[in-house]
Structure 1
């Protein structure tokens, strides 16, 4: 559903099944024992209704399942947490910090300059240090799971 929205928005050829297959293949690295991922996710992302109630429920259930593997450290940044950095776009830092990847609306940027990579390290440290982990992250996911995503505004 969400990939279909991206296809419609960008006006690109519809290869949603291929995109899903590639994403599922990339997710296998979570369980291969060779990689480790540190993720900081804003609580607001858990409550932003993209895709409808069923997609939202599946997203939360998947995150709850992914709290288990040793290859993933998932932090949920509570909406009320103080963060000493203005919000920035999403990004990934790869390898031993030798590359950052930023996906934009119409393109992607790979950053490899040492001084710029240090900024990405700092930009990740701010929200991740204010995030909740373990049982506290699970509680925030449970709170989001009970949020009525199909309720009219104001209820």
Structure 2
């Protein structure tokens, strides 16, 4: 089954309630997967980066409770440190260069990724922008609940997918993306390159 909920409904009271839902999703997921091509995965975002991202609520015309939403997003990150979860995450190289908040925010965000690269709970890879992938370009998605739900965020709505045949395709897509992804030292090299870019980018 596929269900779609408009953001104006889901965020009708602001971001905090929705972030509460996401915290529960992550706490109930022992083995998760995420592909995020153009921004940093929420569970690895710094507070400054998350503040800019959630601050985009004005675009949707919903209540602005960004500090509360950011606090919940930081709370959800505890799943990375409790030894009960594991997440396999692929970031597109573009995610390291999409300008969220300016050079200082981006530099600190890349430093966070470099620090977390060796976490036991995390397999973090970077998909190079020039990598050949045996799959047409696809949108970001998360696989939660130990594989029983895929979550996709669109401009106007969020979509949850639970039909097994569709979940199989999302897992197949993730496998194809992973094959072309850089891990370990190769991922660190791409992160260091992005860090140098933002370190040498003047503040404006």
TM-score by length of 1: 0.91
Per the alignment, in what secondary structure is the counterpart of residue 125 of structure 2? Answer: strand
In structure 1, the residue matched to 2:138 is: 88
In structure 2, the residue matched to 1:21 is: 71
* Whole-angstrom distance in 1 between the partners of 2:152 and 2:76: 17
Write the mapping of 1:13-92 to structure 2, written as runs, cut at 5 A.
Answer: 13-92=63-142
1:100 matched to 2:150: yes
The answer for unaligned runs of 5 or more in structure 1 is none
- Tell whether the 8 Å contact from 1:3 to 1:16 is kept in structure 2 after alignment: no
How many residues were matched structurally? 152
The answer for unaligned runs of 5 or more in structure 2 is 1-50
Residue 4 to residue 133, structure 1, CA distance change in 2 (3 Å): closer
In structure 2, the residue matched to 1:117 is: 167
* Whole-angstrom distance in 2 between the partners of 1:59 and 1:43: 14
- Tell whether the 8 Å contact from 2:55 to 2:64 is kept in structure 1 after alignment: no
In structure 2, the residue matched to 1:141 is: 191
- Tell whether the 8 Å contact from 1:52 to 1:150 is kept in structure 2 after alignment: no
* Whole-angstrom distance in 2 between the partners of 1:81 and 1:34: 32
Residues 88-136 of structure 1 deviation map (CA, whole Å, 9 limit, x = unaligned): 1111101321111111222211110000001100111111111111111
Greater length-normalized contact order (CA 8 Å, ≥ 6 residues apart): 2
* Whole-angstrom distance in 1 between the partners of 2:154 and 2:56: 12
Residues 51-108 of structure 1 deviation map (CA, whole Å, 9 limit, x = unaligned): 1001111110111111121100001011111011111111110132111111122221
Please tell me the root mean square deviation across aligned C-alpha atoms, in Å.
1.7
* Whole-angstrom distance in 1 between the partners of 2:173 and 2:54: 31
Per the alignment, in what secondary structure is the counterpart of residue 68 of structure 1? Answer: coil
* Whole-angstrom distance in 1 between the partners of 2:55 and 2:140: 19
In structure 1, the residue matched to 2:27 is: none
